[in-house]
Chain A
Amino acid sequence: MNTHRLGRALLAGLTGLLLAGSAQAAEVGKPAPDFTLAQKDGNSLSLTQLRGRVVYLDFWASWCAPCRQSFPFMNEMHAKYGKKGLRVVAINVDEQRSDAEQFLKQTPAQFTVLFDPAGKAPEQYKPDGMPTSYLIDEHGKVLMVHPSFKEADRAELERRIGEALAQGNPAP
């Protein structure tokens, strides 16, 4: 009897261990995991600081070809909707900061860039590939997960951004 109980407890513990390995990623309708990361000037920014604004969050790396195409789009969205409550935040996952700096020299960004060489934020969001973008509403809920970036995606992404801004009517 005792061994049975012990066995059951151990089994439960083991299943717990196995399940712990597969923590959930950021999904549509779920709250976006928080992060605190350094900006280019050294000041840190966390997602909770951006409550009240619609956030277009993008994971990118210097070695990722489609990321290069997504930067002009994000610059455009920042220019067009920045004053209407959108905040474009791009998290760099390069291990070497110099790789990121070189990319930014060739592909300038007018929006917020955060640096995550340790990969803490992608560990929480678990993007399937680079780049992956997330649209987060003013309450911090994930509205959209968009893997990859192609020129053909522009219209659809802009429509989703516009929708999110109209829905919440966030403070400017």
Chain B
Amino acid sequence: MKPLSLIGALLALSLLQACSLQPPKPWQKGMLARPEMTMGGDALEQRFDEHISASKQAASGGYGVGGGGCGCN
């Protein structure tokens, strides 16, 4: 009886896999890279914010996917 319930649980778990939301693949980010997909509307203001963030945090990036999501640029 026990192995059967274990199998049942495993089967149920494997079915759950289909429910998970898959992040887009690196080559599927065309839609996300569009300017209207960025947070905030004003490009100039965003640039200003990024500059402050970069100088305070010594890190930049993560504002869009135009760089391709490869950690470059």
Contact = CB atoms under 8 A, between A and B. Distances in A.
B34 interface: yes
A62 B14 CA distance: 37
A64 B66 contact: yes
B4 interface: yes
B67 A64 contact: yes
DSSP class of B's interface residues: helix, strand, loop or mixed? loop
A127 interface: yes
Interface residues of B, number: 26
Interface string B1-39: 001101100110010010000000111111101100000
Contacts of A149: 72
A147 B25 contact: no
A56 to B, nearest CB: 18
Contacts of A128: 26, 70
B8 to A, nearest CB: 10
Interface stretch (A31-39, A40-48, A77-85, A129-137): A129-137
B73 A148 contact: yes
B27 A119 contact: yes
A67 interface: yes
Ordered nearest first, which 6 A-B pairs have the shortest CB separation? Answer: A129-B70, A148-B72, A130-B68, A63-B33, A7-B3, A93-B27
